[in-house]
Chain A
């Protein structure tokens, strides 16, 4: 009964499905980040930011924009994969994917790429809104200093949090467990990772604590690629990010093998 199929087609179909899915909820993916980033920029960038003097000499809004962009990337890549799986658990779609000739690797990569794309769309929109604010406050648009590094950190960040989303969504048995991860782990790590502040002003003890946070390296790597400043050296950042990508990939794989495809 030999019936061989092109392995790329199921993989590309899954990616297409992921993209189409988030495109159907445009208010979440496009409108919501415009509103939230405008508010952040208005309150932190314009109002409070004018009173902030950073040790690295950058205008606060220049420092803030990459932080907001990467925060959008982190949240949306995580939400894309986790909500895709959770809604599929409700609808029963996961059973279709499970009985189709699709490997676990294909599922993980397809969801990872879906997450990168959604996260990048949100980061891009946040960046565009940020540029407008930047132009009016600083007088020019914010250039990307290291485009290749920027692309690398965008991909790594999107993948890491998409993989996290897969892991949590498969392991979670209830909505509570899913939102607990977001509330107690993802948001604190992101906020304490340097979205709004540099750690240079912190007590040395808290600076050391910040170095234990993997999100800190991601945010600083992303910011370095855009504006050329970071609280940590680039090599360490790249190594930590690559390691985080491998670890989260393995976690996602574990969750697919051990987790439940059953309905909620």
Chain B
């Protein structure tokens, strides 16, 4: 069974006074997430990522299309789905009245769990929040607030975790520890949908990615595939006659072909260094191509 199936999903924010000003946030988005997979949803600001997450969490109703979580329709089975989904919102929630432990106790209660102390203690411990358990949110640093949001999303042990830019504004060390934790969650069988602007991390962490722009999916597949298809690799060759050659080629191109094309035999080479293509480059090309296609269609 798929953890998430999105089929031709559309979301329009209708301007009742002037229909031409209506915003088409999602324009027929389709993709799916396998159970136990980390799926990256990448896209520039305003691409429709948060709208999509809001629709999965039933905060927004889709205008049309299908959205199933573990085989259940999101609109018809909202409550059952909510019990199995954890969400880390993009913006930090600053609950003013309560301390960290109280917040996690309330959050457990919202999901029908009483006496969730063991799980709360585990999360506090794992996310390094134990020393801050009795602090109010306003007393926490930005990174701690982010960790608290992740703890909140996990108190009810969801089967699908939605992470909407969970590392925005977080320092490198904390980002690394968070991604390590996310990888652990995947090993425990959790399916994860992740949006992030840190493409290198998405490249390392995600089994598959979708690149979304202007409400349309421009690419869906493994990070490796998109890199091979859209990025270039740099080959730096030092020749026996003392010359050096720098060749830019498609990431999918084999070294033998490149050497043949440039009429370089192996006997002429002293040293060879290759810099592989990056997701960032592929991402930019996909987004630009998508934008041009979108512009042409309009």
B91 touches A10 (CB 8 A): no
| Chain A neighbourhood of B114, CB < 8 A | 9
Whether, in the assembled complex, A185 has its beta carbon less than 8 Å from a beta carbon of chain B, the answer is no
A92 touches B110 (CB 8 A): no
A3 touches B87 (CB 8 A): no
Stretch at the interface among B17-25, B94-102, B208-216, B242-250: B94-102
Q: Chain A: which residue is nearest B114 at the CB level?
A: A9
| Chain A neighbourhood of B80, CB < 8 A | 1-3, 101
Q: With contacts A1-B71, A91-B137 known, what are 10 further pairs, Cβ within 8 A?
A: A1-B70, A7-B112, A10-B109, A16-B106, A87-B96, A92-B89, A96-B93, A99-B85, A100-B82, A103-B79
A10 touches B93 (CB 8 A): no
Stretch at the interface among A17-25, A122-130, A189-197, A223-231: A17-25
Whether, in the assembled complex, A98 has its beta carbon less than 8 Å from a beta carbon of chain B, the answer is yes
Given A5-B83, A13-B106, A95 contacting B59 (CB threshold 8 A):
yes
How far is it, in angstroms, between the C-alpha of A91 and the C-alpha of B94 when the chains are bound?
Answer: 5
The listed residue (A1, A12, A92, A100) touching B111 by CB distance below 8 A is: A100
| Chain B neighbourhood of A20, CB < 8 A | 97-98, 102
Whether, in the assembled complex, B49 has its beta carbon less than 8 Å from a beta carbon of chain A, the answer is no
| Chain A neighbourhood of B102, CB < 8 A | 20
| Chain B neighbourhood of A101, CB < 8 A | 79-80, 82-83, 110-112
B59 touches A261 (CB 8 A): yes
How far is it, in angstroms, between the C-alpha of A121 and the C-alpha of B113 when the chains are bound?
Answer: 29
**Complex A-B: 20 CB contacts under 8 Å:** A1-B159, A5-B112, A5-B113, A9-B114, A10-B111, A13-B109, A14-B109, A20-B98, A20-B102, A21-B97, A87-B96, A91-B94, A95-B89, A99-B58, A99-B85, A100-B82, A101-B79, A101-B83, A101-B111, A101-B112
Whether, in the assembled complex, A263 has its beta carbon less than 8 Å from a beta carbon of chain B, the answer is yes
Q: How far is the CB of A109 from chain B (nearest CB, A)?
A: 15
B106 touches A91 (CB 8 A): no
Whether, in the assembled complex, A53 has its beta carbon less than 8 Å from a beta carbon of chain B, the answer is no
How far is it, in angstroms, between the C-alpha of A9 and the C-alpha of B70 when the chains are bound?
Answer: 25
Please tell me the number of chain A residues within 8 Å of chain B, measured between CB atoms.
Answer: 33
Given A1-B72, A1-B84, A87-B96, A99 contacting B59 (CB threshold 8 A):
yes
B84 touches A263 (CB 8 A): no
How far is it, in angstroms, between the C-alpha of A3 and the C-alpha of B84 when the chains are bound?
Answer: 7
Which residues, 59 to 118 on A, are CB-close (under 8 Å) to B?
A: 87, 90-93, 95-103
Given A1-B159, A100-B82, A13 contacting B59 (CB threshold 8 A):
no
A13 touches B110 (CB 8 A): yes
Contact mask for chain B residues 50-66; partner A; CB cutoff 8 A; 1 contact, 0 none: 00000001110000000
Whether, in the assembled complex, B30 has its beta carbon less than 8 Å from a beta carbon of chain A, the answer is no
Q: Chain B: which residue is nearest A263 at the CB level?
A: B91
